[in-house]
């Protein structure tokens, strides 16, 4: 989420974001770093698709009008849902809400939960058939 936030605000390329983000984080273990980079890669390479899903399920909200933290929490969670389908959606949603409790406004939690749940339900229907 932090790399997405950095890229969103700084208008940097994904390569620039990764370079700057990891420059000051040499204490991150390789497994965590690999997962973060994979998730970031999905989020950036499929951003058009991810943003369309978010806008479809965020009733009466345009992406550019959402708080930056909320927008990028949603992008990270949806990227994980579509890029790592073996991870159960409730786990992804719960983890996202825990991050939101730390970084987002308190009133954002219910909104994020509703949007992510709607997207998860749609993804489940598509997988089942």
pTM, full prediction: 0.91
pLDDT tens-digit series, residues 16-41? 998 888 888 888 899 999 999 999 99
Q: Is pLDDT of 129 > 90?
A: no
Per-residue model confidence (pLDDT) at position 95? 96
User: If you write DSSP's letter for every residue of the chain in order, what string do you get?
Assistant: -HHHHHHHHHT--HHHHHHHHHHT-TTS-HHHHHHHHHHHHHHHHTHHHHHHHHHHHSTT--GGGS-HHHHHHHHHHHHHHHH-TTS-HHHHHHHHHHHHHHHS-TTHHHHHHHHHHHHHHHHHHHHH-
pLDDT tens-digit series, residues 47-77? 999 999 999 999 889 999 999 999 999 999 9
All structural domains of the chain: 2-128 (1.10.940.10)
Per-residue model confidence (pLDDT) at position 6? 87
């Amino acid at each position: 989420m932090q790399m997405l936030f950095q890229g969103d605000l700084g208008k940097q390329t994904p390569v620039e974001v990764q370079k700057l983000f990891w420059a000051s984080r040499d204490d991150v273990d390789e497994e965590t770093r690999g997962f973060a980079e994979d998730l970031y890669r999905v989020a950036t390479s499929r951003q058009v698709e991810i943003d369309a899903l978010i806008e479809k399920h965020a009733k009466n909200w345009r992406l550019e009008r959402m708080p930056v933290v909320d927008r990028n929490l949603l992008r990270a969670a949806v990227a994980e849902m579509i890029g790592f389908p073996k991870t159960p959606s409730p786990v992804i949603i719960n983890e996202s809400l825990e991050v939101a409790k730390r970084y987002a406004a308190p009133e954002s939690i219910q909104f994020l939960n509703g949007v992510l749940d709607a997207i998860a339900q749609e993804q489940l229907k598509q997988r089942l058939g």
